[in-house]
């Protein structure tokens, strides 16, 4: 039987991460000059808010079993790109690259916690959270492919 205290700690970690991401993208949106990139960061902040609310729903209803399937595929595009620095003159490509790298870090974070978990239940919970972040990464990787490889000469 999973310890309720462990579940609570887990949700604290997860929601804190979503909150931090929300704060990061909101601050980034205020910082950048390009209107397209600003809109992109605003949307990402909104997405993180949505993720936060999703986790809160699970948190407030402990009888719900978290079951988040991984995306159909992991393209591993984030893994192939370097993390660009946040800057005022960021281009859309770099903004998406930054976001997908952050999702990659989140996946790795939950995988690491899952590997260190001492009970099957917490491991399962971390796997679900990793799947959720993998889904976000997948969506951002598809966006990156749309904008990341210009045929410009």
Partner 1 sequence: MTNSIEELQDAKVLFVIGSNTTEAHPVISYYMKRAVKRGATLVVSDPRKTDLTRWATLHVQHKVGTDIAYINGLIHEIFKNGWAREDFLRECTENPDVIREGVRDYPVEKASEICGVPVETMRRVARILGEAESTSLCYTLGITEHICGTDNVKTLANLQMVLGNLGKPAAGVNPLRGQNNVQGACDMGALPNVFHNYQPVNNPELSAKIAKAWGVPSLPQKPGYTMPTMLRKALDGGTKILYCVGDNTVQTEPHMAHTIKELEALEFFVVCDIFDNLTTPYADVIFPDTAWGEEDGTFTNSERRVQRVRRALTPPGEARSHWWVMQELGKRLGKDLGFTSANAVWEDMRKSATSCAGITWERIESLGLQWPCPTLEHPGTTFLHRDGRFTRGKGLFSVTKWIPQAEPPDAEYPLVLSTGRRLWHYHSGTQTRNSKGFENIFGEELLEISPADAAALGIRNGDRVRATSRRGSIELTAWVTDRSAPGVVWCAFHFAEVCANVLTIDKFDSVTETAEYKACAIRVEKIGDGQPLGAGISRQARP
- Chain residues in the site for partner 1 (CB under 8 A): 34-37, 39-40, 73-77, 79-81, 91-93, 142-143, 145-153
**Residue 59 near residue 15 (C-beta atoms within 8 A):** yes
Least distance CB 94 / partner 1 (angstroms): 11
Q: How far apart are CA 1 and CA 76, in angstroms?
A: 35
Rank residues 77 and 106 by Cβ distance to partner 1 and give the closer one: 77
Least distance CB 30 / partner 1 (angstroms): 17
Least distance CB 142 / partner 1 (angstroms): 7
96 Cα distance to chain centroid:
12
Least distance CB 39 / partner 1 (angstroms): 8
Least distance CB 64 / partner 1 (angstroms): 32
- CA 28, 31, 33, 38 torsion-angle sign: positive
Rank residues 120 and 151 by Cβ distance to partner 1 and give the closer one: 151
**Residue 24 near residue 116 (C-beta atoms within 8 A):** no
**Residue 141 near residue 75 (C-beta atoms within 8 A):** yes
**Residue 63 near residue 5 (C-beta atoms within 8 A):** no
Rank residues 17 and 137 by Cβ distance to partner 1 and give the closer one: 137
Q: How far apart are CA 96 and CA 92, in angstroms?
A: 6
């Amino acid at each position: 039987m999973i310890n309720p205290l462990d579940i609570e700690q887990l949700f604290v970690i997860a929601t804190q991460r979503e909150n931090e991401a929300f704060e990061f993208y909101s601050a980034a949106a205020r910082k950048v000059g390009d209107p397209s990139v600003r809109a992109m960061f605003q949307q990402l902040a909104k997405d993180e808010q949505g993720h936060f609310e999703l986790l809160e729903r699970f948190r407030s209803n402990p009888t719900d079993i978290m079951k988040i399937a991984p995306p159909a595929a992991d393209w591993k595009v984030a893994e192939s790109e370097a993390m660009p620095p946040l800057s005022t003159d960021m281009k859309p490509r770099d903004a998406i690259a930054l976001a997908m790298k952050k999702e990659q870090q989140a996946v790795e974070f939950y995988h690491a916690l899952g590997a260190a978990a001492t009970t099957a239940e917490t491991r399962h919970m971390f796997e679900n959270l990793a799947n959720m972040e993998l889904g976000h990464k997948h969506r951002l990787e598809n966006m990156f492919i749309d904008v990341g490889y210009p045929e410009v000469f």
